[in-house]
Structure 1
Amino acid sequence: MENKAKNSGTGRVFKNPILEKLTRTHISMPLIAFSVVSSYLIYTGASEYGLNAITLVLLFLAGMLAFTFVEYLMHRFLFHMPETTPARKKVVYTMHGVHHDHPKDRDRLAMPVPLSLTISFLFFWLFRFAMGELVWGFLPGFLMGYAGYLWIHFMIHAFQPPKNFFKFFWVHHGIHHYKQPERAFGVTTPIWDLVFRTMPNK
């Protein structure tokens, strides 16, 4: 992906003004939506399926870790897939390329809520099929992992880096945007970059 990043302005994804409007999302909307959904899932798991607090906590943490893996895979292999055809180039630009071109555009740092909730519903049935009633603890962790990713990603692009340990997140993701787009795919954690050897070159 060519580095054409602009630190101001915005890009256009669709010519249709309605579709274009639907691609923009205020960061608070998915954070609220997934917090509410996750709370409901945990309550249901405890009240209707008898999952105890320890089980819910362990499942929640497992779900968060699983999300970081999915985040890495999607960022590396889907959002940065080779643009070998015009159709692929359009898909990459729509999903992620517009963000690389305009990384400071705050309205393009989250997936539209209706789409993300639809995908979450599909994950619910996938996890329900795979793990049965444990989904009521695992999926909330997965969804809040996504919410955590959104918040960290938003802070990186919207605010100046802090003068403490957390500056690492700004530096790591900044290298991906401005220096080495083929590396540093992890946003919430560098664990998978370490595992799959995609940490930035020194």
Structure 2
Amino acid sequence: MVAQGYIVDLKKPLVFQVGHLGEAYQEWVHQPIVSKEGPRFFQSDFWEFLTRTVWWAVPTIWLPVVCWSVSRSMAMGHTAAEIAAMVVFGIFIWTLMEYTLHRFLFHIKTKTYWANTAHYLLHGCHHKHPMDGLRLVFPPAATAILCVPFFNIIKVFATPSTTPALFGGGLLGYVLYDCTHYYLHHGQPSKDPARNLKRYHLNHHFRIQDKGFGITSSLWDRVFGTLPPAKESLRKR
């Protein structure tokens, strides 16, 4: 593929190529290649391994952390009803984070070499190869790093006894998000709301990529005015 005089060789590791596209990167990355075979990112087998994650690793690794976090608040005297409310509120907080990160970070406009490279690693690769099943969920190492500031932010606004349950709720929201995201790409829902949510998300990928930033729901798209027009919706598959 040729863009701004630079040729991206899809048969070679991509990560250190895409930065050379400059201002043409945005157009290139939003022209999806629909194939279940993912591209190679790095020449190094070690770094390549770190970019690939099976979907079931997300609940396997993080649900025990959710349970442990919730149990800490329970051990500090909170009732089951209070714990449930905190977990639900944590999930609610996550939905706003999900929307905010997707809209303002994952879809940030870049044009310099390192900015393009970082964007491709973060989210651009998903738009270029939306059916790559091993790069649909966050690698555990990246999630662990992001958990640290998330937990510390909650500590600022919550009490010591409510922080663990709120964090657990937010982390549960993340697990639901990543598993839902995988299902929307590779599942075949036959009934609503899952079927409609799949159409909604594929619309974001293939029709109108600057709207429809919600994954688990369209709530925040409705609140902030980024809901795709009805006429842009994909037909039922």
Q: Same fold (TM over 0.5)?
A: yes
Aligned match for 2:94, one of 67, 74, 86: 67
More RCO (CA 8 Å, sep 6+): 1
| Stretch moving more, 79-88 or 121-130 | 121-130
User: What is the letter of the counterpart of residue 175 of structure 2?
Assistant: A
Corresponding residue for residue 119 of structure 2 = 92
Match runs of 1:45-124 below 5 Å: 45-47=73-75, 49-124=76-151
Corresponding residue for residue 26 of structure 1 = 54
SS for the counterpart of 1:132 is coil
Whole-angstrom distance in 1 between the partners of 2:78 and 2:191 = 41
Whole-angstrom distance in 1 between the partners of 2:190 and 2:167 = 31
Given that 1:42 and 1:56 are in contact with CA atoms closer than 8 Å, whether structure 2 keeps it comes out as: yes
Whole-angstrom distance in 2 between the partners of 1:15 and 1:178 = 30
Whole-angstrom distance in 1 between the partners of 2:31 and 2:191 = 28
Q: Does 1:135 align with 2:135?
A: no
| Stretch moving more, 157-166 or 27-36 | 157-166
User: What is the letter of the counterpart of residue 77 of structure 1?
Assistant: F
**Percent sequence identity over aligned pairs:** 29
Whole-angstrom distance in 2 between the partners of 1:13 and 1:69 = 30
Whole-angstrom distance in 2 between the partners of 1:51 and 1:125 = 21
Alpha-carbon deviation of 1:165?
2.8
User: What is the letter of the counterpart of residue 116 of structure 1?
Assistant: T
Unaligned residue ranges in structure 1 (runs of 5+):
none
Whole-angstrom distance in 1 between the partners of 2:177 and 2:131 = 16
CA RMSD of superposed structures (Å): 1.4
Whole-angstrom distance in 1 between the partners of 2:44 and 2:220 = 38
Given that 2:58 and 2:179 are in contact with CA atoms closer than 8 Å, whether structure 1 keeps it comes out as: no
Match runs of 1:168-187 below 5 Å: 168-187=196-215
Whole-angstrom distance in 1 between the partners of 2:33 and 2:50 = 22
Alpha-carbon deviation of 1:32?
1.4
User: What is the letter of the counterpart of residue 78 of structure 1?
Assistant: L
- TM-score where L is the length of structure 1: 0.94
Whole-angstrom distance in 2 between the partners of 1:15 and 1:80 = 26
Match runs of 1:8-47 below 5 Å: 8=35, 9-47=37-75
* Residue deviations 1:82-119 (CA, integer Å, cap 9, x gap): 11322221111111111111111111011111221222
Higher helix share: 1
Unaligned residue ranges in structure 2 (runs of 5+):
1-25, 232-237
Q: Does 1:164 align with 2:192?
A: yes
Greater gyration radius: 2
Whole-angstrom distance in 1 between the partners of 2:187 and 2:31 = 21
SS for the counterpart of 1:195 is helix
Whole-angstrom distance in 1 between the partners of 2:105 and 2:199 = 23
